[in-house]
A = this chain, B = another copy of it.
Amino acid sequence: MSEHGAIPGQAQWGPPYLLYLGQAADNLAIKTARGLAYWRPEWCIAQHRHPDCRFTLGLPEMGFAEARAAGADTMVIGTANAGGVMAAETVADTVAALDAGLNVIAGLHQKLRDNADIVAAARRNGRVLFDAREPVGPLPVGSGRKRTGHRLLTVGTDCSVGKMYTSLALERSMRKRGLKADFRATGQTGIFVAGGGIPVDSVIADFISGAAEAISPARDDGGWDLIEGQGSLFHPSYAGVSLGLLHGSQPDALVLCHEPTRAHMRGLPDFPIPDLQQCLDANLVAARLTNPAVKAVGIALNTSGLDQHEALAACREISRRLGLPCQDPVSMGVEAIVDNLLACCAN
Contacts and interface: CB of A to CB of B under 8 A. Distances in A.
Contacts of A237: 141-144, 206, 209-210, 247
B243 A239 contact: yes
Contacts of A270: 144-146
Contacts of A289: 234, 236, 239, 271
Interface of A: 82-84, 109, 140-146, 200-206, 208-210, 233-234, 236-245, 247-248, 268, 270-271, 282, 285-286, 289-290
A252 to B, nearest CB: 16
A240 B237 CA distance: 12
A200 to B, nearest CB: 7
20 contacts: A109-B206, A141-B238, A142-B236, A143-B268, A145-B268, A201-B204, A203-B204, A204-B204, A206-B238, A206-B241, A208-B241, A210-B237, A236-B248, A236-B289, A239-B247, A239-B289, A240-B240, A240-B242, A241-B244, A271-B289
A66 to B, nearest CB: 35
A144 B236 contact: yes
Contact of A109 (B84, B142, B204, B239): B204
B209 A202 contact: no
Contacts of A202: 204-206
A240 B200 CA distance: 11
A144 B204 contact: no
Which residue of A234, A236, A271, A282 has the most chain B CB atoms within 10 A of its CB atom? A236
A239 B233 CA distance: 12
A183 B205 CA distance: 22
A70 B234 CA distance: 54
Contacts of A144: 236-237, 268, 270-271
